[in-house]
Structure 1
Amino acid sequence: MCVASVWTVAKQELLTTLRDRRTLTSTILVPLIMIPLFTVGLPLLFGTLFGGQAQTRQTVGVVGTLPPALRSQLTQDSKEEKGVRLIAVTDPTAAVRNGDVDAALNVQSALPSQAGTSGQLQLFYKVGNLKAESGAAGKVRSAVSNYNKGLVGKKLAELNLSPALLTPIALSTVDASNAAEAGSGQLAFIIPLFLLQFILAGATATATDSTAGERERGTLEALLATPAPRSTLLMGKLVATTLTALIAAGFSVLGLSLSAPIALLVTPAGQSTAQSATQQAFGGSLALGLGGLGAVLITAASAALLISALLLTLSLFARSVKEAQTYIAPLTLLIILPATLLQFADFLKTSNAIYAAPLIGSMLVILDTVKGALSGPHLLLSLGGNVLLAALLTLIASRLFGREGVAFKK
């Protein structure tokens, strides 16, 4: 097989693909914009929405009488958060459902002003509503808890007893995560998803146009009539498709590398502690070193080779570009479903076999890299799984391309 002939075919296919502005947009601009937007923008948005609730004064309806100390606990402002505004309501359920208040309190029995007696207090809010959970409901729970602790503390002081009697064991929490894992947050699973999706989008146009597209236009027959061996023509198309996918992979990794500096630029200087903590929890401080970026790039390259071989093989069965796109559409689900399940990766007991699984192993390696837990053997297993399946698919594509009727519409 002549390398120069393969490159000649590949170059022609690449030029055809690159003339399409839509392909350039999906291959270059979209990864550069979307990956920083999701890795930086979403955590920043969540930090603003959830953490910002602490700095917002919500309205809480009240049925009955609250002790003055508890009212003060609910309405007073602190450095970290603002208190709530209390208003009288008659029907707490209706007030919450109609949006008149963010939450409501119903005093079922007289509330104590000192420890030793008890009372019943109901909290009404829309359970499952994230705004209510992080805002009014959370503030009410915190205020009632502090009020109870205050009453108990006063009673213990009257009895000359130490508050330590109530908590014989003091439990403190220490974050054992490494810096990368702590910075990756809960949205780390979307990074493998976007990387592979952009690779798939980048390779699709070249794969479908160079096979089903040429068959539909009738140019494939003329191409096969040239002296060049069919294996050379197929390899040229595979090289072109893989290069297009690699371009998408490269710009995806570039977009990922830009996330950290962009995060520094767009993070507000006066961000509250609650906003900062929420942004950190969702991955707003993601940063990868050169080694991590290199591992992601190599993994993405092997995935690009596999996806290109798969797309080329499927497209050889199609009589038109539209039909080829129909065959390719389910591949999106094959990427989205496993990538979505990665958010539960902490519950899975991963084995070498999973890392050797084509594409799935690549997703796990990318996730491990983002979390700073990359293992060399796992990287090699994922690369090997992708390359082996790509070689098998290339062999199948070669058999299909060697058929006599490959150039004709069926």
Structure 2
Amino acid sequence: MRSERRTGAGLRWNMVRRIAGRDLLSTLRDRRTLGATILMPLILIPALALGLPLLLGSFIGGQQQERQKVGVVGQIPVALRTALERDEKVGGQTVRAGVTLVAVQDPRQAVQSGDVEAAVQAAGPLPTRAGGEAGTLQVYAKLSSLRTQTGAFSKVQDVVEGYNRSLTLSRLQGLGLGEDTLRPVRVQPIDASPPQEQRSGQLAFLIPLLMLQFILSGGMATAVDATAGEKERGTLESLLVSPVRRSEVVAGKLLATTVTALTSAAFSVLGFLVSGLLAAGLIKNQSGAAAELTGVMGGQLSLSVGGTFALLGLAASAALIISAVLIAIGIYARSFKEAQTYIAPLSIVIVLPAVMLQFADFLTLGGGIYAVPLFGAMLSILEIVKGSAGTAHILTAILSNLIVAVLLSLLALRSFGREEVIFRN
């Protein structure tokens, strides 16, 4: 009888549901867990998908519209000085403010001390017309500073390019030639990516990363409480001596953990859909650097019906793997705190491969890479978001995850059948 309770010939699903419901009820009573499962994805994902581009856009736009001090050593042509100080306006609105030129003695020292954000010094006489001897304008700036690169240095560089162009055009006109003389062939870039891939933005790799992170955080609370937490409370022993098979205990706890993890994943997808709607509204109703960056970087997630089901299938298979790992770790740990210590490195296991998805275009390892547990699922999720997923790749990733989930579940079942593990504390 004892051996039957440990393994059992088959699962009684009614008993599995009761155990899962018991663990889910314990999770629902913890408001902090509910907040982390439901509210955090809805808040953090739009904040990252929209907040980062808006912040960068506001920063860059603010630098362009703010006047910076630029030091000057020696003399520079009057036309170039005027161009540097002049505000650039479109429709009466300043889109790029000029710079304030101040005389300095030591350009390097002036930049390092913060007296000016950049400084210019002519290595020799600068030309006032094209066709003569070229000159060199040295620009001193803290090039490691994003503020300087998007502000004073960027303005000086753009103005000098414009000055060179004006001298060249003036020379060409004197020879009876037009601007096309310098550019007989023009390059017109046309984005051939599918519309869905264009909308996904450059931060699309964050979607599988955050989905799996929320699967981990959502399932962790239930798994640890249902294993190490029950050890501490002394309720696990009473459950194991009841007329319930060990396989049913593992299946019930695995089901409860997976449901919690998938709930968190579902709300993370909802968070991306909300951020996509907000981004579309922002791009439609506003203009400027913030709206432009939001369109380029931030994901406007849109999924077909088939893509939605494929995404859920991949998320479910990944949730099963993560849940099985969490339960195996939780039952091995002596206490709730010890289980959290063991689980902490799992975040790194998820984050590092997900960061590599930025370079997914360089992966040429063939279809076998989709058989790598979790990583194949993350790669497939990214392809679904971009609208370029293949059915064979999705099925390979799901099957690989399911096989590994079964093996890890058997490991968890073996741990539940060993008294030296159950009663480690």
**TM-score band (shorter)?**
over 0.9
Give a deviation string over 1:12-68, Cα, whole Å, max 9, x none. 011111111111111111111111111111112122112433333322221111212
Task: Work out whether residues 63 and 106 of structure 1, in 8 Å CA contact, stay in contact via their aligned partners in 2.
Answer: yes
Task: Work out whether residues 283 and 292 of structure 2, in 8 Å CA contact, stay in contact via their aligned partners in 1.
Answer: no
**Cα separation, 1, equivalents of 2:419 and 2:173:** 95
- 2:7 corresponds to: none
Structure 1 counterpart SS, 2:119 = strand
Give a deviation string over 1:155-207, Cα, whole Å, max 9, x none. 22222234433333322222222333223322222221111111101111111
Is residue 218 of structure 2 the alignment partner of residue 208 of structure 1? no
Structure 2 counterpart SS, 1:209 = helix
Q: Which amino acid aligns with 1:91?
A: D
**Cα separation, 2, equivalents of 1:268 and 1:167:** 34
Is residue 153 of structure 2 the alignment partner of residue 137 of structure 1? yes
* More moved, 54-63 vs 328-337: 54-63
- 2:14 corresponds to: 4
Task: Quote the offset at 1:390 in angstroms.
Answer: 0.4
Q: Which amino acid aligns with 1:224?
A: L
Are the structure 2 counterparts of residues 44 and 350 from structure 1 closer, same or farther at C-alpha, using a change threshold of 3 Å?
farther
**Cα separation, 2, equivalents of 1:359 and 1:382:** 8
- 2:170 corresponds to: 154
Q: Which amino acid aligns with 1:7?
A: R
> How many aligned residue pairs are there?
408
**Cα separation, 1, equivalents of 2:122 and 2:388:** 51
Task: Work out whether residues 51 and 276 of structure 1, in 8 Å CA contact, stay in contact via their aligned partners in 2.
Answer: no
Are the structure 2 counterparts of residues 407 and 390 from structure 1 closer, same or farther at C-alpha, using a change threshold of 3 Å?
same
Q: Among 199, 206, 226, which residue is 2:242 paired with?
A: 226
Is residue 329 of structure 2 the alignment partner of residue 314 of structure 1? yes
Task: Quote the offset at 1:123 in angstroms.
Answer: 0.7
Unaligned runs of 5+ in 1: none
- 1:67 corresponds to: 77
Are the structure 2 counterparts of residues 183 and 124 from structure 1 closer, same or farther at C-alpha, using a change threshold of 3 Å?
farther
- 1:243 corresponds to: 259
Q: Among 82, 106, 123, which residue is 1:91 paired with?
A: 106
**Cα separation, 2, equivalents of 1:188 and 1:377:** 22
Q: Which amino acid aligns with 2:296?
A: A
Task: Quote the offset at 1:349 in angstroms.
Answer: 2.0
* More moved, 330-339 vs 88-97: 88-97
* More moved, 79-88 vs 4-13: 79-88
Task: Work out whether residues 117 and 152 of structure 2, in 8 Å CA contact, stay in contact via their aligned partners in 1.
Answer: yes
Task: Work out whether residues 253 and 293 of structure 1, in 8 Å CA contact, stay in contact via their aligned partners in 2.
Answer: no
Task: Work out whether residues 71 and 119 of structure 2, in 8 Å CA contact, stay in contact via their aligned partners in 1.
Answer: yes
**Pairs within 5 Å for 1:49-198:** 49-78=59-88, 79=90, 80-115=95-130, 116-198=132-214
Task: Quote the offset at 1:268 in angstroms.
Answer: 9.0
**Cα separation, 2, equivalents of 1:299 and 1:46:** 33
Task: Quote the offset at 1:374 in angstroms.
Answer: 1.9
Structure 2 counterpart SS, 1:237 = helix
**Cα separation, 2, equivalents of 1:254 and 1:97:** 48
Q: Among 389, 394, 401, which residue is 2:409 paired with?
A: 394
Structure 2 counterpart SS, 1:187 = coil
State TM-score, norm by structure 2: 0.91
Structure 1 counterpart SS, 2:332 = coil
- 1:286 corresponds to: 300
Q: Which amino acid aligns with 1:130?
A: L
Are the structure 2 counterparts of residues 268 and 168 from structure 1 closer, same or farther at C-alpha, using a change threshold of 3 Å?
closer
Task: Quote the offset at 1:270 in angstroms.
Answer: 4.4
Q: Which amino acid aligns with 1:131?
A: R
**Cα separation, 2, equivalents of 1:333 and 1:159:** 64
Task: Work out whether residues 51 and 278 of structure 1, in 8 Å CA contact, stay in contact via their aligned partners in 2.
Answer: no
**Cα separation, 1, equivalents of 2:269 and 2:309:** 9
Quick one: percent identity of the two aligned structures? 49
- 1:361 corresponds to: 376
Structure 2 counterpart SS, 1:258 = helix
Are the structure 2 counterparts of residues 53 and 327 from structure 1 closer, same or farther at C-alpha, using a change threshold of 3 Å?
same
Are the structure 2 counterparts of residues 391 and 256 from structure 1 closer, same or farther at C-alpha, using a change threshold of 3 Å?
same
Task: Quote the offset at 1:266 in angstroms.
Answer: 5.5
Task: Work out whether residues 318 and 324 of structure 1, in 8 Å CA contact, stay in contact via their aligned partners in 2.
Answer: yes
Are the structure 2 counterparts of residues 114 and 347 from structure 1 closer, same or farther at C-alpha, using a change threshold of 3 Å?
same
Unaligned runs of 5+ in 2: 1-10
Give a deviation string over 1:97-144, Cα, whole Å, max 9, x none. 222222111122111111112222101111121121122212211111
**Cα separation, 1, equivalents of 2:263 and 2:166:** 62
Cα RMSD over matched residues? Answer: 1.9
Q: Which amino acid aligns with 1:318?
A: A
Give a deviation string over 1:237-269, Cα, whole Å, max 9, x none. 111111111111111111111112222455694
Task: Work out whether residues 319 and 409 of structure 1, in 8 Å CA contact, stay in contact via their aligned partners in 2.
Answer: yes
Q: Among 229, 237, 255, which residue is 2:271 paired with?
A: 255
Is residue 359 of structure 2 the alignment partner of residue 344 of structure 1? yes
**Cα separation, 2, equivalents of 1:170 and 1:19:** 65
**Cα separation, 1, equivalents of 2:120 and 2:20:** 70
